[in-house]
Amino acid sequence: MNERRFYVYEHWRTDLDCCFYVGKGQKKRAWKCMRDDRGIEYWQALNSIGRDNIYVKIVESGLTEKRALFIEKDRIAHWRSIGVSITNMTDGGYGASGHIPSEEHRRKLSAVLKGKPKSLEHSAKVSASMKGNKNSLGIKRSTEYRNAVRARQTGRKHSPQSKEKMRIARIGFVFSADHRKKMSDAHRARCADPEERARTTERLRPYMHLPPSKRSAMRGA
């Protein structure tokens, strides 16, 4: 195994021509922005700047992991010493490739984040990033990814406790008039599609001999 496979990289913003994140990695790590382990400040900056407005600078390559961690820490210290507000959450210089957080660590993170309200500005940025705006992340899920999620969810049954929580959460909830109109329009569009009608008919055919009051129960069995 080649131990000198790591490198240290920096993400720079084109508008200010300045670094805003320092990291270490291997293979295509530096060019994969769709990561969830860089911290909330990184994502806020990336949403604000726009994925197309950053570029990658390789500081040094052909490093052992130990050497890469040392250089990463040195670069973070350098930028902070000259007053640059980079988005790294730590001082760097530690960590291990392929590390999987322990259950205890995950529980602590969950406890810290649970119940924290998100600002309207934050929610708007997240929404924009998921819709593929030109100045956002533009998350696009591949057909393979969607099929994998569908397969994982097919046949999934919620526990009684989970069902009760969902029932309580829905008590008193009313969709807005605008939302109801959108659902109605979407439903009408599906009904107008001959192929969709044919698929619906085939899906419901086994239950057509039953009275309406029993169909939904049988489909959920």
Domains located in the chain, CATH noted: 6-95 (3.40.1440), 162-221 (no CATH)
Q: What is the dihedral of CA 50, 97, 27, 33, to 10 degrees?
A: -10
This prediction has a pTM of 0.44
In the block, tokens 């720079």 appear at: 12
Phi, psi for residue 150 in degrees, rounded to 5: -60, -45
Within 8 A by CB and 6+ apart from 10, the residues are: 19, 21, 22, 23, 56, 57, 59, 75
CB atoms within 10 A of CB 8: 25
Q: Where are the alpha helices (DSSP H) in 114-142?
A: 120-131
Output the tens digit of pLDDT for each of the chain's 221 residues. Answer: 457 889 999 999 888 888 989 999 888 888 876 555 677 778 777 777 877 788 899 999 999 998 999 999 999 999 999 988 888 888 876 655 555 566 776 777 677 666 666 667 766 666 665 555 444 444 556 677 777 777 777 777 778 888 888 788 778 778 788 888 888 888 888 777 888 888 878 877 777 777 766 665 555 44
32 contacts 51 by C-beta, under 8 angstroms: no
What is the amino acid identity at position 154?
Answer: T
